[in-house]
């Protein structure tokens, strides 16, 4: 169940980011080159945040599994 919630959250977050970027591009009062630079920077920020969330989720998952006494290596 926890995996479903995490997956749903990540999908929702991704969708929200994409909608926000699209709306921002459509209504941006800047020249194209400025908009592209901003998008490039925002893309890097989003990528980094996504990596952080994934790593945090992995870490919490490992802590949860360790607390249950499950050996991950044996489960593979």
Please give the share of the chain, as a percent, with pLDDT higher than 70. Answer: 87
Flag whether pLDDT at 5 surpasses 60. Answer: yes
Nearest to 6 by CA among 74, 61, 64: 61
> What pLDDT, on a 0 to 100 scale, did the predictor assign at position 8?
83
What is residue 2's predicted lDDT score, i.e. its pLDDT?
Answer: 66
In the chain, domain spans:
2-69
Q: What is the pLDDT of residues 8-40, one digit of tens each?
A: 888 888 888 888 888 877 777 778 788 788 888
Does residue 60 surpass a pLDDT of 70? yes
Q: What percent of the chain has pLDDT over 90?
A: 3
Report d(CA 62, CA 72) in Å as an integer.
Answer: 8
The full length of the chain comes to 76
């Amino acid at each position: 169940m926890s995996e479903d919630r995490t997956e749903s959250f990540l999908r929702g977050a991704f969708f929200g980011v994409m909608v926000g970027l699209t709306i921002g591009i459509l209504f941006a009062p800047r020249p194209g080159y400025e908009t592209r630079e901003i998008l490039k920077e925002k893309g890097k920020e989003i990528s980094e945040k996504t990596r952080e969330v994934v790593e945090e989720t992995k870490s919490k998952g490992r802590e949860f599994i360790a607390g249950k006494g499950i050996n991950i290596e044996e489960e593979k």
